[in-house]
A and B are shown apart, each in its own frame.
Chain A
Amino acid sequence: MPRVSFIDADGSETTATAASGQSLMEAAIANGIDGIVAECGGNMMCATCHVYVDEPWADRLPPRSPVEDEMLGETVCPRRAGSRLSCQIRVDEDLDGLVVELPEAQV
């Protein structure tokens, strides 16, 4: 099972395992990562599953859909170059070792 790490705004890191086919958001919820709210459950309506993905990982993710791009303009914490909605990232073996940063707040 792929392992993914979340670094929260204070810099502390938590590593979680993702079941196959899970989204990064679902993996975060299943592993009790507090910094992900994900109120809409993955429908791209709430923008409370915001994460920052930096190089080298950013380039390995599939591109943002137009709706994801639009929603990223509505996050509570500022959008950065690596901003993604974690509900739109499928975690597979290729993403084993993925590291993402959590914004200071989601709501």
Chain B
Amino acid sequence: MLMLEEHPYPEDRTDPFALDVLAEPYEFHACLRELGTVVHLTRHDVLAVARHDDVQAALGDPETFCSSAGVGLADFRREEPWRPPSLLLEADPPAHTKARHVITQVLSLAVVRGLRETFAAQAEGLVEALVERQEFDGVRDLAAAFPLKVFPDAVGLPEQGRENLLPYGSMAFNGFGPRNVLFERAMAGGEPVKEWIARHCEREALKDDGLGARIHEVAAAEGYEAAEASLLVRSFLSAGVDTTVHALGNALYCLASYPDQWEILRGDPDRARHAFEETVRFESPVQTFFRTTTRSTELDGVEVPGGVKVLLFLASANRDPRRWTDADRFDICREARGHVGFGSGIHACVGQMMARLEGEVVLQALARQVERIELAGEPVRQLNNTLRGFESLPVAVVGS
């Protein structure tokens, strides 16, 4: 790390990964935005960027703000990563470009459109059963149950062992933070989880007609070896479950907490996709990602040195009043387009169209079948070094 104390950045001593900050991050984000374009976070000796246009600019310049040194706090040039780096997320062009081309072929718009009917039927069925029960845990019974069914089905994983997916996601996303209690807790006893995941990224473990097998097929055609293709499948399994679980949980929480917004959605179920988009802006499931500078540069006229870790606050960008009117208001009628909740630029979420489909069909099923939805108990947050979401969310519904 360059000696950041030589640079005249405003300082903040807050640990962004402290439990109380993760539980209530938005005031801290507002402070960062007010302090300046670039803020020195002394606790971890990294730089922070928290305003919308600056976060977007950094994401849009991957030659300067690179990913191959890791998108977490660990600097891969100095530290051994806890797992072999991702060929996508933790890679730079030209290697990244090639790997991404494999995934965009597998997860084309045509393929996502082809999943709609199955996903919608699953969502309608799941919600129907929950309306009957009237009270349920919005996370376990809906926000987690839905992706844990449709996603591994689409990938072609066997039924058995799917309980490894969430713990693995927790490891991956906590792993982007410092070695704090969340990191240690997620990694503790994680060997069998890692092993299960590694085994199920291999071609033999994947059904012939699923997306996982397709990744192997396309990767082989593009000249990748089987072990590399398995790593590409691993990207799917790490990035595709916990993110959507939290997005759906956050959407449920918002809709149960803002009855006026629920009424709007109920009156117009076709707004479901918008409501999901606004959730990703307002309660961004992925809160932060790091980049590492390859050379010195400028952001909004402020010099940024080369060779430093920069923490990009996606969730803060999504609530920056410089960019959004009434940024702290959940408003399913607003124009949420342009948020960076799915990232931006060459690493922008490659699963975003599938995530939108999942969000749309679940919220639409709710809007069609439920008249009233409210919290039936105290929600419990699940703290994670990168993700924002709930452990449990007691809700009560009345069918329509």
Q: Is the CB of A46 within 8 A of B353?
A: yes
Q: Does B104 contact A (CB under 8 A)?
A: yes
Query: Do most interface residues of chain A lie in helix, strand or loop, or is the interface mixed?
Result: loop
The yes or no answer to B339 lying at the interface (CB within 8 A) is yes
* Nearest CB of B to A66, in Å: 8
- The answer to whether B342 and A43 have CB atoms under 8 Å apart is yes
What residue of chain A has the Cβ atom nearest to residue B339's Cβ? A41
Q: How far apart are the CA atoms of A43 and B345 in the complex, in Å? A: 6
A window 4-34: CB within 8 A of B: 29
- Residues on B with beta carbons closer than 8 Å to the beta carbon of A98: none
Count of chain A to chain B residue pairs whose CB atoms are closer than 8 Å in the complex = 41
Whether the Cβ atoms of B348 and A43 lie closer than 8 Å is yes
Task: Tell me how far the C-beta of B238 lies from the nearest C-beta in chain A, rounded to whole angstroms.
Answer: 19
Residues of B in contact (CB 8 Å), total: 22
Alpha-carbon gap, A70 to B110, bound state (A): 12
Tell me which of A38, A45, A66, A70 contacts B352 (CB under 8 A): A45
The answer, yes or no, to whether B207 is at the interface (CB within 8 Å) is no
Q: Which of B108, B337, B344, B350 contacts A38 (CB 8 A)?
A: B337
A39 is an interface residue with CB less than 8 A from chain B: yes
Whole-angstrom distance from the CB of B323 to the nearest CB of chain A?
12
A43-B352 in contact given A70-B104, A74-B108, A74-B109 (Cβ < 8 Å): yes
Contacts of B97 in A (CB 8 A): 66
- Give Cα distance in the complex from A41 to B337, angstroms: 5
Distance in angstroms between the alpha carbons of A44 and B100 in the assembled complex: 13
A63 to B345, CA, bound (A): 18
Give B315-363 interface residues, CB cut-off 8 Å to A.
335, 337-339, 342-345, 348-350, 352-353, 356
Q: How far is the CB of A23 from chain B (nearest CB, A)?
A: 11
Residues of B in contact with A (beta carbons under 8 Å apart): 97, 101, 104-105, 108-110, 277, 335, 337-339, 342-345, 348-350, 352-353, 356
Instruction: Give 11 A-B pairs besides A41-B337, A46-B109 with Cβ atoms closer than 8 angstroms.
Output: A29-B335, A29-B337, A39-B277, A39-B337, A39-B356, A41-B338, A42-B338, A43-B342, A43-B345, A45-B353, A74-B110
